[in-house]
Structure 1
């Protein structure tokens, strides 16, 4: 940390304010962005198993959290007391291991897109098995990849599928005609019903790379109000960007998911949003514009 930005008078603050700061520190939720790892750059996701990475973000600032462990209360007694009051429950998850294993586990049928996976001997990619700690009651799982159908399908047989409460799915600008979750509704329904604890689903759009806006329009888009996960409502984005409402690929994906879940036994809240802070990065990475709350 830059010493010039360090704050040395924390203990001089009133106790009520210190407790509020500790509470914010321990209560803040995280965005777990799962995407293909750099090792998967030249892998055909229809024929081979991808390896995955997880980028953890503070959605209030878009700053990447490099330490996958929960915030430590081992600071002082005051911090420990607030931590215990918050009653967070953190679960260690190995996305890099669970998602590839789920595709090849044989615990459920594979859709036609992955027929070759089922008939081919597969060597699972070697991955770093260090766990990432998730509080399913507060954190968001964000499947973010240009071709995320393999990751989406694997959710149906992961050991923690019933714990996921909030899920975000990126809708790519290009993709296979029958891709999951952007094609036929039956696989969507099957996967989402396996996620028995799912309460809300975000269908995420990323603005086209190279889209040109006037400085005023870009400034207005940057000022749009974000939700708690850092997303902008789809309609708000369209209005500020001056775009037509007929972005058919994205609308078809949203309609397909809505149709699939319309008569499901359990209703899931479905929202269309835009990841306006998304930055184009080298393959295997995810990054957002850093924001000051």
Structure 2
């Protein structure tokens, strides 16, 4: 039996069912995943400014949205009318340029461990034609910004002075892996607090762990079936404590736990209440440098 790759009978469905499907599609939040562009592979993140790009995911399906523009009348009148009824407000953002400019302008407070070479030529004629120079459209009210990079610190510190910092409502930050047990990502609490204070509309902060094979107990390593049965939030993340229990981890991931604690301490006494969530990105797939993909949604 061949697998079904396309569905060609959508227009034959009852109108009420089509409307429900369109509403589900247009109401779904997007995940704007920030990661280094392929040309950053040869750059030293401690001494050079990385070039970032953005992959946009549909949070309901984990599928990559190739056309990041808002819905247009070109789809069809039925779908477009429903898209308008969702009342989403789209803002164009060039993530790669804004994050790099934040570092090179000197406005971002960069910790001492990042001796950034401010003279680095960020955008030359070649790089200006790359994908990261194209605007991505964000609905800040519903969408999530996900800093999913192995060197997440540089992107995080850039958040202090990007022009759209006051618009971010939901931010997810990957805790990068480190070969040094004492090297806590993002540094001390006070600089973290400065970044969070600058994001005046931030409501939810997700501290994300991507599982590594070396932290799993070999005998009780989870099967793919066990992972798909885990509960997920609206962005596909699994609660950290639940993952620990279901996956059979020998103990907490020390580096992740320390980082989560640093963020929790940074949130104390902030003028605005920000909800901290410890989560696991179990669907993240191993991709070539500069790309991000997820396995298909387990809900389907």
Provide the secondary structure at the position in 1 that maps to 2:48: coil
Residue 121 of structure 1 corresponds to 119
Displacement of 1:114 in angstroms is: 2.9
- Stretches of structure 1 that go unaligned for 5 or more consecutive residues are none
Structure 2 residues not aligned, in runs of 5+: none
Q: Distance in 2 between matches of 1:137 and 1:225?
A: 24
Q: CA deviation at 1:134?
A: 0.8
Per the alignment, residue 254 of structure 2 pairs with: 248
CA RMSD of aligned residues (A): 2.3
Q: Distance in 2 between matches of 1:251 and 1:179?
A: 10
Find out whether 1:141 has 2:145 as its counterpart: yes
Give the Cα–Cα distance (whole angstroms) in 2 for the partners of residues 24 and 65 of structure 1: 15
Q: Is the 8 A contact 1:164 1:198 kept in 2?
A: yes
Corresponding residue of 1:277? 283
What is the distance in 1 between the residues matched to 2:227 and 2:270?
35
Corresponding residue for residue 207 of structure 2: 203
**Contact 1:147 / 1:175 at 8 angstroms: preserved in 2?**
no
Residue 22 to residue 115, structure 1, CA distance change in 2 (3 Å): same
Partner of 1:24: 24
Instruction: Answer yes or no: is 1:227 the counterpart of 2:225.
Output: no
Tell whether the 8 Å contact from 1:143 to 1:152 is kept in structure 2 after alignment: yes
- CA contact 2:221–2:248 (8 Å) conserved in 1: no
Q: Distance in 2 between matches of 1:133 and 1:14?
A: 31
Residue 113 of structure 1 aligns to a residue in which SS?
A: coil
Pairwise CA distance, 1:108? 4.0
Q: How many Å separate the matches in 2 of 1:265 and 1:162? A: 14
What residue number does 2:41 align with? 41
C-alpha distance in structure 2 between counterparts of 1:155 and 1:48, whole Å: 17
Deviation at 1:217, TM superposition (A): 4.3
Query: Which region of structure 1 is more displaced relative to structure 2, 47-56 or 81-90?
Result: 81-90
1:10 is displaced (CA, Å) by: 3.2
Aligned pair 1:165/2:169, yes or no?
Answer: yes
Question: Do the aligned residues in 1 keep the contact of 2:68 with 2:136 (CA within 8 Å)?
Answer: yes
> 2:35 touches 2:53 (CA, 8 Å); kept in 1?
yes
Corresponding residue SS for 1:84: helix
CA distance in 2, matches of 1:187, 1:216: 37
1:289 aligns to 2:289 (yes or no): no
Matches of 1:220 and 1:198, distance apart in 2: 33
1:238 corresponds to which of 225, 234, 244 = 244
Q: TM-score, normalised by structure 2?
A: 0.89
Distance 2:119 2:296 in 1: 43
- Inter-partner Cα distance in structure 1 for 2:4 and 2:267: 52
Structure-2 residue corresponding to 1:65: 65
- Asked if residue 100 in structure 1 is aligned to residue 100 in structure 2, the reply is yes
Residue matched to 2:50: 50
Q: 2: CA distance between counterparts of 1:84 and 1:218?
A: 38
Q: How big is the shift at 1:5? A: 4.3
Contact 1:113 1:179 in 2 (8 A): no
8 Å CA contact 1:93–1:132 kept in 2: the answer is yes
Q: Cα distance, 1:162 vs. partner?
A: 0.5
Moved more, 186-195 or 71-80: 71-80
Shift of 1:226: 1.4
* CA deviation after TM superposition for structure 1 residue 65, in Å: 1.5
Distance 1:246 1:4 in 2: 41
How has the CA–CA distance of structure 1 residues 14 and 197 changed in structure 2, closer, same or farther, with 3 Å as cutoff?
same
